[in-house]
Amino acid sequence: MKVERGLNVGVRAAAAGVLALCAGMAACGSVETSATAGASGSEAGSSGSGSTGTGITPPAASASKIDLLLMIDNSRSMADKQEILGAAVPDLVERLANPPCVDTNGAPAPMQPTSPLEACPSGSKRVTAPVLDIHIGVVSSSLGGHGSDACSVTNDTQSCPGNPNASNNDAGHLVARADACSGVTLPTYQNQGFLAWDPAQKLMPPGEAKAGDLGGNPGLIPDFRDLVLGLGQVGCGYESQLESWYRFLVDPEPYKDISIQGGKATPSGTDTLLLQQRANFLRPSSLLAIVMLTDENDCSIRESGQFYYAAQQQNPTDTKKKFRLPRARQECATSPNDPCCKSCGQAAPDCPADPTCTSNPTLTDAEDDINLRCFDQKRRFGIDFLYGIDRYTGALSSQLVPNRSGEMVNNPIFSDLNPSDSDASIRDSSLVVLAGIVGVPWQSIARDPADVTKGFRNAGEMTVKDANGNTGWDTVLGDPGNYVPPKDPHMIESSLPRPGLPGPASAPTADPINGHEYSNPGNDLQYACVFPLTKPRDCSKPLVNGCDCSPGNNNPLCDPMNGNIQVRAKGYPGLRELAVLKGIGSQAVVASVCAAQVTSPLQPDYGYRPAMAAITAALAPHLAH
């Protein structure tokens, strides 16, 4: 296919996507026609204390610039999703930097501007004002072992043969590398780790003026795509999707090192490099957009005490033996919120004696597979090893957050990190948007379960009850705090086949959402959704990362005629990410990591184009006109 030169390639390629974008934005009928509208418009509001209710509310403030941070999972099985996101980069950039022009009926103008500095043709106007100042940064889900022996940079000798695997611990830093193993660094704005879109050349020094394209013309689009693909997929398997963006944007005292002292994980020092990257990237009056891309549930392990045991691989007192967690008390099986639901390794003086804690206190290898350490922890282990969801919901709306000692200090998101410059306005919390492209069937969050081109439900629509009295959140999330499962069985975390879904003996496509349940060997979870790979993967070849297939299994990802060939990609239930998204109300955007189709690039339902439309529709009302 011939690739057109210019910023508006994706718009021309998907006119239907333009209409979908306009249909999802209340501002379409009143956008300024000037191409430079928004270049010097009013910026953020006053206090950072805007409402975070569960419905859509009028924006409390607007901004003329965006700080866009992508948190991208870089564990095994993510390469296919990174490639799809890389292909969606033009959509995201064009919708923000050079929005299309439409006529009074909302139809795309026959001639589109090739630059955000050009005016629309007579009789048309842009769906939103072009954004002429964007910072774009990427962090990964890898934060190392949180004090455990997992995810070592130096001891991982298989992922990067001949080299340490630095991507096992990206430490919450901005990542700009050519690939996971070579150590080659990609060029960024003033070598600060992020890209700077600056077509009007107003930054000092100036940033990127050209958009380029994926057909060989240099500029922002290919540089952005390279940041995404450079993450690789050999990062830590205990993914810290939530803690990673929190570490970079919010943590007032990010640690430099973490070690075990007196049997407890102990952070020490201050990561001054991260603090400098944050200060350079995050402007106080910008529209802050955080986009998470992940196919697994979050595993942000608490970094204190003995919570590191959730990722511990070898017995600390005898490294020749595997470490296995203690069994949970029997109350946990039926009521994880029971005060006596504890680990057999914990004292429980006010609880009745539990004979299993005496006769069989330690879990077996089959009961405690290291791949499932972050799954259903309270019920299985009697302890929740992960940071609470309120850590992340509060970070996106509260002016104060706890430091390492638990003292409440100023939240960097709502602070001026560079008081010596001219940007002193502090954003309102309505200018913070979190989007999750996560493990959830697109059919369960789409406005029309049969047609994703009609868009994903926004935060307000997710709270609307259906004919059975269930909201969208009831369907895909349930009530995790009270251990009420989602109504959609695809979203229930389980290693065993789930009732109500086609079983392991079913045809590979018996279920249009996840294929079917399968007989995994006890070291994996059932899938929330699956979708075709753009290229089949031969799992019989050595050193092929992210493979799930082998002869004789009944995994729905595999070719039933050749068990070595993987033909589908997967998404696991992303319940913790969804819980945060629900918790922040109108600041949230929910999208699916499972693409509706990946074979027709020009169609509006291709890859993550629907996700990009949902994200830009959520940002549009907050952009200065």
Single-letter code of the amino acid located at 444: S
Single-letter code of the amino acid located at 268: S
| Alpha carbons 197 and 215: distance in angstroms, whole number | 19
Question: Can you tell me whether residue 106 is helix, strand or coil?
Answer: coil
Contact 576, 386 (CB under 8 A): yes
Read off the pTM.
0.91
Nearest to 311 by CA among 247, 357, 376, 368: 368
Based on the fold, state whether residues 272 and 195 are members of the same structural domain.
yes
Nearest to 43 by CA among 26, 19, 64, 67: 64
Question: Can you tell me whether residue 394 is helix, strand or coil?
Answer: helix
Q: Is the pLDDT assigned to residue 19 strictly greater than 50?
A: no
Q: What is the model's pLDDT at position 625?
A: 62
Based on the fold, state whether residues 368 and 269 are members of the same structural domain.
no
Q: Is 210 exposed, middle or buried (0-12, 13-18, 19+ CB in 10 A)?
A: middle
Based on the fold, state whether residues 321 and 431 are members of the same structural domain.
no
Contact 199, 117 (CB under 8 A): yes
Angle between helices 79-97 and 609-619 (to 10 degrees): 40
Based on the fold, state whether residues 15 and 128 are members of the same structural domain.
yes
Q: What is the model's pLDDT at position 146?
A: 98
Per residue in 306-336, pLDDT tens?
999 999 999 988 888 999 999 999 999 999 9
Q: Which of 533, 548, 569 is the last residue of a domain?
A: 569
Based on the fold, state whether residues 562 and 586 are members of the same structural domain.
no
Q: What is the model's pLDDT at position 14?
A: 37
Based on the fold, state whether residues 337 and 238 are members of the same structural domain.
no
- Please give the average per-residue pLDDT across 536-560, as a whole number: 89
Domain membership flag for residue 606: yes
Domain membership flag for residue 463: no
Question: Can you tell me whether residue 260 is helix, strand or coil?
Answer: strand
Based on the fold, state whether residues 201 and 220 are members of the same structural domain.
yes
Based on the fold, state whether residues 606 and 511 are members of the same structural domain.
no
Contact 496, 523 (CB under 8 A): no
How many other C-beta atoms are found inside a 10 Å radius of the C-beta of residue 148?
A: 24
Question: Can you tell me whether residue 96 is helix, strand or coil?
Answer: helix
Domain membership flag for residue 119: no
Cα dihedral across residues 513, 519, 524, 525: positive or negative: positive
Q: Write out 149-211 in H/E/C secondary structure.
A: CCCCCCCCCCCCCCCCCHHHECCCCCCCECCCCCCCECCCHHHCCCEEECCCCCCCCCCECCC
Q: What is the model's pLDDT at position 102?
A: 94
- Sequential DSSP letters for 427-440: PPGGGEEEEEEESS
Based on the fold, state whether residues 210 and 296 are members of the same structural domain.
yes
| Alpha carbons 267 and 274: distance in angstroms, whole number | 15
The pair phi, psi for residue 220, each rounded to 5°, is -60, -45
Dig out the tokens for 109 from the structure: 């103008």
Nearest to 446 by CA among 582, 544, 590, 586: 590
The proportion of the chain whose per-residue pLDDT surpasses 90, expressed as a percent, equals: 85
| Alpha carbons 164 and 169: distance in angstroms, whole number | 11
The pair phi, psi for residue 431, each rounded to 5°, is -95, 25
Q: Is the pLDDT assigned to residue 406 strictly greater than 90?
A: yes
Q: Is the pLDDT assigned to residue 150 strictly greater than 80?
A: yes
Residue that the structure tokens 């891309």 belong to: 293
Domain membership flag for residue 2: no
Single-letter code of the amino acid located at 282: L
Q: Write out 549-594 in H/E/C secondary structure.
A: CCCCCCCCCEECCEEEEEEEEEECCCHHHHHHHHHCHHHEEEEECC
Q: Whole-number mean pLDDT of the chain?
A: 90
Domain membership flag for residue 371: yes
Domain membership flag for residue 450: no
Q: Which of 529, 552, 569 is the last residue of a domain?
A: 569
Based on the fold, state whether residues 282 and 419 are members of the same structural domain.
yes
Domain membership flag for residue 395: no
| Alpha carbons 280 and 100: distance in angstroms, whole number | 30
- Please give the average per-residue pLDDT across 135-143, as a whole number: 98
Strands (E), 355-442: 400-402, 408-410, 432-438
Based on the fold, state whether residues 155 and 69 are members of the same structural domain.
yes
Q: For 155-159, 187-191, 271-275, 475-479, which range has the lowest pLDDT when averaged over its residues?
A: 155-159
Dig out the tokens for 294 from the structure: 């992940």
Question: Can you tell me whether residue 1 is helix, strand or coil?
Answer: coil
The pair phi, psi for residue 315, each rounded to 5°, is -60, 120
- Say whether the peptide bond before residue 556 is cis (omega within 30 degrees of 0): no
Domain interval for residue 342? 307-381
Q: What is the model's pLDDT at position 33?
A: 30
Q: For 42-56, 341-355, 598-612, which range has the lowest pLDDT when averaged over its residues?
A: 42-56
| Alpha carbons 524 and 76: distance in angstroms, whole number | 13
Based on the fold, state whether residues 257 and 344 are members of the same structural domain.
no
Per residue in 177-232, pLDDT tens?
999 999 999 999 999 999 999 999 999 999 999 999 999 999 999 999 999 999 99
Domain membership flag for residue 281: yes
Query: For residue 281, what are the contacts with CB-CB under 8 A and spacing of at least 6?
Result: 67, 69, 135, 137, 174, 192, 193, 194
Contact 228, 81 (CB under 8 A): no
- More confident: 22 or 155: 155
Number of domains in the chain: 3
Q: Which of 337, 359, 381 is the last residue of a domain?
A: 381
Dig out the tokens for 352 from the structure: 């009745």
How many other C-beta atoms are found inside a 10 Å radius of the C-beta of residue 344?
A: 21
- More confident: 373 or 49: 373
